[in-house]
Amino acid sequence: MKSLSYLNKYFIRYKWLLFLGIIFLIGANLFNVIIPLIVSDAVDDMEQSISGDNWMHVAFYLGGMYILFSLIKGVFVFFQRQTIIKMSRHIEFDLKNEIYTQYQRLNYNFYKANATGDLMNRISEDVSKVRMYLGPGVMYTINLVFLFIFVIYSMMKINVELTLYALTPLPLMSFMVYKVSSRMNRQSEQVQRSQSEISTIVQETFSGIAVLKTYAGEPKAKSKFNLASNQYLQRNMNLVITNSLFMPTITFLIGLSTIITIYVGGLLSYEAQSTVTNGNIVAFVIYVNMLTWPFASVGWVTSLVQRAAASQERINEFLKASPEIVNPSDEPFNFQGSIRFENVSYRFPNSGIQAIENLSFEIKPGETLAILGRTGSGKSTIIHLLLRQFDPDEGMIYIDEAPLNNINLSAFRNQTGVVPQEVFLFSDTIENNVKFGVAENESANRVQVEEALIKAHVYHNVTNFKKGLDTILGERGVNISGGQKQRVSIARALIRNPKLLILDDCLSAVDTETEETILNNLKNQIDKNTSLIVSHRVSSIRHADRIIVLDNGKKIEEGKHDELLALGGVYADVYNKQLLEEQKKKSL
């Protein structure tokens, strides 16, 4: 339960709504307990002079009062919901924003360590469970307290003995309801789990439809789905049984209360000098019924609060996580173009892989450094380190001779254009996907978007689409080819006129001729500004000012293209092999 105390700050923020809500709630309950008294009077009046003029009094005065008070109570109930439930929605909104903001603050390693589904659940399912506590949970609890006080007071005022008799079944009812509703919760959680299993299966089937079809995997997918939906059905059936038990249990116990009230009330009213009237017995029956739902809801609210506490605990875990890397400074930063790695080492904490080992290199302003290396040799890790997705275990990285850890990180990132190895495009128009690259505080028009696309050598493809720049790309840009996606991603990096351009193996999906064209188009950008190019292909990097060859996180060769060829090492080897392949392709 302690986890829920985190929400107190929100109760304080919306204290007026809560306060007003409680006032309305008290009002509603006051009128609620007066109504049975009117009925009681009416019964007694009718009994005394069923044929007298009294029927006018009963019909108009008491009847009118009954209607009026019911209406007023209704108005109070309306406003009670308007304030307390409203408060819960406001808090839900704030909490979601808080979690989302926190997600934005957290770094690369956090996202690597947590599954996307988990992150999504925190912000949707867990928050909605917490909301149930904030709204209905709080409202029913306060309601129960006041209703209980008012009703017991009214009953006691009529007759203490009868009150005690009438209430005997209530604790038993609360206990039974608690049992039944925790069973119901358990089972509905199982149902929900089944349901999300089904959605996962269906979602995977859709996104992997190409693989599924080509492997003729329909029967496999179908049997997997059948299994899951059978389980879903079975679990729902269990829930139906429990649900069916709920109402009869309550009805039985209310019936018991009512019978006791009438029986004991009847006996009492026969006693000499009895103060219990028939009208009182009727009022008691109404009171007992009035207490039923709130008591029944004790069990429901208890399990609701328990679930909210569990959810809030999970949320708190995320909220408490502090980002390993925060922007150390707000000072304006203007990148001049020099980068230096000094004995940098990095080991991935989760896999224990030593991705970079004692690596040093330098890029001077305007220079182009190229990195070549086998898959898994640590090339992408260098880029992550340079953009400070995570910090090196040992060694230092200097930007313009200042430690990377000291400079304004967002300013530095804003001046960098990265084309990552794994292209990600939003489900949005091509134009907006490119414009995403526009640096903060700057803007770009359509012509600039077109220019970027032309440089990335993809504009001619885009104009072929019916809607041109307004073509919406699928969730992962499914309606354009892999090479086209890479080039849209390049345009995104170019549109920000970066002072540092980083290309992480981003031409792997295009043929050598297209690659040549693109590199030619980028020549101006690359010549003027500092650039870092990662590639498997010698052809894309041969013109770089310096090339380093990486193996297992270590630098094994360094120099210009010609120097490395003369060296006759790994680079020369790779070059000769690729040259041979090219010639083979051309001769075909």
List interacting residues with Mg ion (CB under 5 A).
379-380, 421
Residue owning tokens 């890479």: 486
Q: Does 486 bind ligand ATP (CB under 6 A)?
A: no
Instruction: Give which of Mg ion, ligand ATP, none residue 348 binds (C-beta under 5 to 8 Å, depending on kind).
Output: ligand ATP
Instruction: Give which of Mg ion, ligand ATP, none residue 104 binds (C-beta under 5 to 8 Å, depending on kind).
Output: none
User: Structure tokens of 302?
Assistant: 């208890």
Instruction: Give which of ligand ATP, Mg ion, none residue 455 binds (C-beta under 5 to 8 Å, depending on kind).
Output: none
Instruction: Give which of Mg ion, ligand ATP, none residue 353 binds (C-beta under 5 to 8 Å, depending on kind).
Output: ligand ATP
193-231 burial: b if 16+ Cβ within 10 Å, else e: ebeebbeebeeebeeeeeebeeeeeeeebeebeeebbeb
Specify the stretch interacting with ligand ATP by CB under 6 A; choose among 222-230, 372-380, 401-409, 577-585: 372-380
The pair phi, psi for residue 59, each rounded to 5°, is: -70, -45
Structural contact between residues 419 and 506, judged by C-beta atoms closer than 8 angstroms: yes
Q: Which of 32, 40, 83, 381 binds ligand ATP (CB under 6 A)?
A: 381
- Where in 42-71 is the site for ligand ATP (CB under 6 A)? none
Q: Give the SS3 label for residue 362.
A: strand
Query: Which residue in 339, 336, 363 sits closest to 544, CA to CA?
Result: 363
- Where in 387-426 is the site for ligand ATP (CB under 6 A)? 421
Instruction: Give which of Mg ion, ligand ATP, none residue 112 binds (C-beta under 5 to 8 Å, depending on kind).
Output: ligand ATP
Of 526 and 550, nearer to ligand ATP (C-beta) is 550
Q: Which of 375, 441, 443, 445 binds ligand ATP (CB under 6 A)?
A: 375
Name the residue type at position 538. Answer: V
Of 127 and 547, nearer to ligand ATP (C-beta) is 547
Of 379 and 487, nearer to Mg ion (C-beta) is 379
Binding mask 103-142 for ligand ATP (x = CB under 6 A): ---------x------------------------------
82-99 burial: b if 16+ Cβ within 10 Å, else e: ebbbbbbeebbeebbeeb
Q: Which of 21, 27, 299, 373 binds ligand ATP (CB under 6 A)?
A: 373
Least Å distance between CB 355 and ligand ATP?
A: 4
Least Å distance between CB 522 and ligand ATP?
A: 21
User: Structure tokens of 172?
Assistant: 């038993």
Of 450 and 504, nearer to Mg ion (C-beta) is 504
Of 279 and 373, nearer to ligand ATP (C-beta) is 373
Instruction: Give which of Mg ion, ligand ATP, none residue 279 binds (C-beta under 5 to 8 Å, depending on kind).
Output: none
- CA–CA distances in Å: residue 451 to residues 343, 445, 472, 526: 40, 10, 19, 16
Q: Tell me the C-alpha distance between 369 and 384, whole Å.
A: 16
Least Å distance between CB 378 and ligand ATP?
A: 4
Q: Tell me the C-alpha distance between 300 and 163, whole Å.
A: 25
Q: Does 555 bind ligand ATP (CB under 6 A)?
A: no
Q: Does 4 bind ligand ATP (CB under 6 A)?
A: no
Of 377 and 497, nearer to ligand ATP (C-beta) is 377
Q: Does 489 bind ligand ATP (CB under 6 A)?
A: no
Q: Does 570 bind ligand ATP (CB under 6 A)?
A: no
Q: Does 350 bind ligand ATP (CB under 6 A)?
A: yes
- CA–CA distances in Å: residue 111 to residues 120, 313, 389: 12, 19, 11
- Helix and strand tally (H, E) in the chain? 24, 10
Of 104 and 375, nearer to ligand ATP (C-beta) is 375
Specify the stretch interacting with ligand ATP by CB under 6 A; choose among 243-251, 333-341, 369-377, 393-401: 369-377
Least Å distance between CB 452 and Mg ion?
A: 24
Of 299 and 378, nearer to ligand ATP (C-beta) is 378
Instruction: Give which of ligand ATP, Mg ion, none residue 464 binds (C-beta under 5 to 8 Å, depending on kind).
Output: none
Specify the stretch interacting with ligand ATP by CB under 6 A; choose among 51-59, 200-208, 291-299, 371-379: 371-379
Of 80 and 377, nearer to ligand ATP (C-beta) is 377
Instruction: Give which of Mg ion, ligand ATP, none residue 498 binds (C-beta under 5 to 8 Å, depending on kind).
Output: none
Q: Which of 379, 457, 485, 496 binds ligand ATP (CB under 6 A)?
A: 379
**What's the distance, CA 16 to chain centroid?**
29
- Helix locations, 209-345, DSSP H: 209-214, 218-270, 278-320
Q: Tell me the C-alpha distance between 429 and 26, whole Å.
A: 54
Q: Which of 6, 293, 348, 398 binds ligand ATP (CB under 6 A)?
A: 348
Contacts of 346 (CB under 8 A, 6+ apart): 354, 355, 356, 381, 385, 390, 392, 393, 553
Specify the stretch interacting with ligand ATP by CB under 6 A; choose among 156-164, 347-355, 400-408, 511-519: 347-355
Name the residue type at position 309. Answer: A
- Strands of 530-535's sheet in order across: 416-419, 500-504, 530-535, 368-373, 546-551, 554-559
Least Å distance between CB 383 and Mg ion?
A: 8
Neighbours of 329 (CB within 10 A): 14
Q: Does 279 bind ligand ATP (CB under 6 A)?
A: no
Name the residue type at position 419. Answer: V
Q: Which of 51, 214, 273, 351 binds ligand ATP (CB under 6 A)?
A: 351
Least Å distance between CB 566 and ligand ATP?
A: 25
- Where in 510-549 is the site for ligand ATP (CB under 6 A)? none
Of 214 and 375, nearer to ligand ATP (C-beta) is 375
Instruction: Give which of ligand ATP, Mg ion, none residue 257 binds (C-beta under 5 to 8 Å, depending on kind).
Output: none
Q: Give the SS3 label for residue 402.
A: strand
Structural contact between residues 167 and 258, judged by C-beta atoms closer than 8 angstroms: no
User: Structure tokens of 118?
Assistant: 């988990």
Instruction: Please give the torsion angle defined by the CA atoms of residues 137, 138, 139 and 143, in that order, rounded to the nearest 10 degrees.
Output: 100
Contacts of 44 (CB under 8 A, 6+ apart): 277, 278, 279
Neighbours of 47 (CB within 10 A): 12
Name the residue type at position 40. Answer: S
Name the residue type at position 236. Answer: N
Residue 581, judged by CB atoms within 10 A of its CB (0-12, 13-18, 19+), counts as exposed
Site residues, ligand ATP (CB under 6 A) = 112, 348, 350-351, 353, 355, 373, 375-381, 421, 505
